[in-house]
A = this chain, B = another copy of it.
Amino acid sequence: MLRHRLLAALVTLAPALVQAQEDPPLALRGMGSFHVGGREAVVADKPVREVLLVPGGVPARIDANGPYQVEAMYVQYHLPAAERGRVPLLLWHGGGLTGVTWESTPDGREGWQQYFLRRGWATYVSDAVERGRAGWAMYPEIFAGEPVFLTKADPWERFRIGAGPGSYRTRTALPGTQFPIEAYDDFMRQVVPRWTTTDAAQLAAYRALLRRAGPAVVLAHSQGGMFATRAAQAEPAQVRALVLVEPAGFGEATPEALAALRGIPVLALYGDFIEQDGRWPAIRQRGLDFYAKLRAAGGSVDVVALPERGIMGNSHMMMMDRNNRAVAQVVQDWLAARGLWR
């Protein structure tokens, strides 16, 4: 509160100074991207086609039979010139989404990628297997099952932006939501198809990423929380901390798998409006049950319900909500308190 008043005074007295403090130039010692993981898969018995790939072009003979490179994931990194994170920060998106989750918000503000980069974290933003720049493979020949596509109504009603089933038809948002609803269509432009049958391939690629970029802090959202927890259980030496943003799935609960997480502190973050939702109380409860098992096995878990910290109105997409910096600050402070930032 005192800090808010001080900031308000600074904004009144010296807005240019405050702006400069918020958005100095970003000095990078490097940036780049790579793909990691995956395997070769062979397809046979498909017809060979002559395909005109470009109108008026020269036909190409496309033989769909043969080896494909599949199930890799895409990773883009930005390395700050003055690194303050003790290890890199890996940002893992949720279901039906890509690494764009962490970039600019749908209404054009800076996202968590820029927030943490500005604080000296080497950031690795990735697209899981079958999403975005990772590409996807022929189905049903290589991927089992069919992709799931989300209508514009689905995240509105399921991500606690609107007030549950039926609320998209009237564009009724939850009162007090921090989601930038005027940019909802731009959020939907970020949504990509997903499968429900590729979990093993996704986990394998995430493990390959940890072996390449770790040891690291893994910050994961929703479906990504399941991959982060399982990847940490499989590669515990590569993970220094787990930040789970409303995880939709969890780790293995065998004694060995729980013991693997003993040395890895966990922060679990939950937003607003959970009690009034049809599914989120159960999703959160599954998380609380898992954290209890983890604590019983000697692990360390901090659960933060943002409203209890006075941070109100957050949807499932809290990294792009209007108060996304306040939420990021909770993560930043927690990481700093664990000695992972200097």
Binding site for B on A (CB under 8 A): 23, 25-35, 38, 40, 43, 51-58, 60-69, 72, 74, 76, 78, 81, 95, 98-100, 103-104, 108, 110-111, 114, 127, 132-133, 135-138, 148-154, 158, 165, 185-186, 188-193, 196, 199, 223, 226, 248-250, 279, 282-283, 286
Q: In the complex the two chains form, what is the Cα distance from A99 to B133 in whole Å?
A: 8
Q: How far does the alpha carbon of A29 sit from the alpha carbon of B108 in the complex, in Å?
A: 15
C-alpha spacing A68/B52, complex, angstroms: 29
Are A152 and B223 CB-contacts (below 8 A) given A32-B108, A54-B95, A95-B53? Answer: no
- Copies of this chain, count: 2
B193→A135 contact, CB < 8 A: yes
Chain B nearest CB from A18 CB (Å) reads: 17
| Residues on the B chain within 8 Å of A30, using CB | 23, 26
B248 pairs with A54, CB closer than 8 A? yes
> B185 and A69: CB pair below 8 A?
yes
A76 CA to B33 CA in the complex, in Å?
A: 13
- 23 A-B contacts (beta carbon < 8 Å): A25-B27, A25-B28, A25-B29, A26-B27, A26-B31, A32-B104, A33-B103, A34-B108, A53-B223, A54-B223, A56-B249, A57-B283, A57-B286, A58-B279, A62-B154, A64-B151, A65-B151, A68-B151, A72-B189, A76-B103, A100-B133, A132-B135, A136-B193
Note all chain B residues with C-beta closer than 8 A to A136. Answer: 192-193
Of B54, B60, B196, which one neighbours A53 at CB under 8 angstroms? Answer: B196
Q: Is the CB of B58 within 8 A of A283?
A: yes
**Are A34 and B186 in touch, CB under 8 angstroms?**
yes
A67: chain B residues within 8 A (beta carbon)? 151-153
Nearest CB in chain B: distance from A56 CB, A: 7
Contact A248 B53, beta carbon cutoff 8 Å:
yes
- Residues from chain B with a CB closer than 8 A to the CB of A55 are 199, 226, 249
Question: Which residues of chain B are within 8 angstroms of A64 by Cβ–Cβ distance?
Answer: 149, 151
Closest to A36 in B: B189
Report whether A191 and B54 are in contact in the complex, using a CB–CB cutoff of 8 Å: no
Q: Which residues of B contact A190 (CB under 8 A)?
A: 35, 133, 135
Which chain B positions have C-beta within 8 A of A192? Answer: 133, 135-136
